[in-house]
Amino acid sequence: MMDEHQAELAALFALDLLEGAEKTAFEASLAENAELRRHVDGLRAAAAEIAHLAPPAEPPAELKARVLTSVSGRPIARPAPAPLPPLIPFGSLIPWAVAACLAIAALWAGRQSLNLRSENEAMRDQQHLAQVDLTLLRTRMEAERLVRQRQYDDAQQQLAEAGRQTHESRAELARLQGEVAQARQELALAVQQAEAAGRQVAALTVKLKQEGDLAQYKIATLASMLGNSPKAIAVAVWNPMEQEGMLKVSQLAMPASDKDYQLWLIDPQYKSPVSAGIFAMDPATGEAHVKFKTDKAIDTIAKFAISLEAKGGMPEPHGPIVMLSQ
């Protein structure tokens, strides 16, 4: 009776898939188990049929001739000889012995001839194998040569590519350096233009400021209110941005020694006129040029007035108004 493990080993053995100790052990079982041998023979026969699954292929016609040529004169293995028959009397064997010797000699000569042929065939096989090895060696060397050639070609290409890239990089560097120099020149020019434009802007700003300031200036002429100086005239100019002004007075009589002329600015936001200070007439020219400021901030000037006050001036007007803007 065969167990499942043996059946498995038999299938693997039939397909020559057993190896090593497993194969040796199974062969030992096979030698002493006839049923197992029959089972394996059946599996081997079935396995051999798998050969029919190979795609059909026709062997070349010359193969048959090659096979038949090879077998001509080739020795055939013989089964082991049967046991010798019982001995018979020596005298009657002499003619047979002579004949046997001749036959043995003939057989020996024939065997020698066959052996020589076999050796010749073996040498041919060895020569064939050597040629195969030589072909493989040549193929391998050719493969190595191709690999080296390919590596050399690749290295040459890489070198040429690196040279080309270096050349391009240098050209690119030179181009970039030129662009940098040009950019620097353009930048210097732009800085110059910007500075010139800045100066123009500053000049225009000053001019505009001046024009704006001038437009805001309050300019007024003051007429005499006195009979002793009917021709007296004064011009007052007020710069509201700077909160300062200029007064020019002509042909106004000199005040008494205990008196001073005092300038007043009349701003509607204040109840009283705002003092712009006292001033003195130049006895040589009969004129006065006065730059004045106020203690209070002036928003709008409605009038300029000049009064005659006590020496040193007053916080508020007490004396007579001698000149008044129109």
Partner 1 sequence: MTDAEASRQAEERSSEDAKLLRRMAGGEHDAMAALYERFSRPLYATALHILKDGAEAQDIVHDVFITLWEKAAIYAAERGSAFSWAVTLTRNRSIDRLRSRRRRAELLEQSAPGDLGLQEGNAGTGADETATAADQARVVRAAVATLPPDQKDALELAFFSGLTQQEIAERLREPLGTIKARIRRGLGKLRDTLAPRL
Helix axes 20-31, 34-49, angle to 10 degrees: 120
The least CB distance from residue 94 to partner 1, in Å, is 32
CA 130 to CA 209: how far, in whole Å?
A: 112
Q: Tokens 């040629």 appear where?
A: 131
Q: Which residues of 256-282 are buried (b: 16+ CB within 10 A; e: fewer)?
A: eeeebbbbbbbbeeeeebbbbbbbebe
The continuous run of DSSP H or E covering 44 comes out as helix 34-49
The least CB distance from residue 50 to partner 1, in Å, is 4
Contacts for 295 with CB less than 8 Å, ≥ 6 apart: 274, 275
Encode 248-267 in three state secondary structure. Answer: EEECCCCCCCCEEEEEEEEC
The least CB distance from residue 86 to partner 1, in Å, is 27
Cα end-to-end span (Å), the chain: 151
76/82 with CB nearer partner 1? 76
56/85 with CB nearer partner 1? 56
The least CB distance from residue 20 to partner 1, in Å, is 11
The least CB distance from residue 66 to partner 1, in Å, is 6
66/296 with CB nearer partner 1? 66
Q: Would you say 304 and 275 are in contact if contact means Cβ atoms under 8 Å apart?
A: no
39/265 with CB nearer partner 1? 39
136/197 with CB nearer partner 1? 136
153/168 with CB nearer partner 1? 153
Q: Which spans of this chain sit near partner 1 (rule: CB under 8 A)?
A: 7-8, 10-12, 14-17, 19, 41-60, 63-64, 66-68, 70-72, 74-79, 136, 139-140, 142-144, 146-147, 150
The least CB distance from residue 83 to partner 1, in Å, is 18
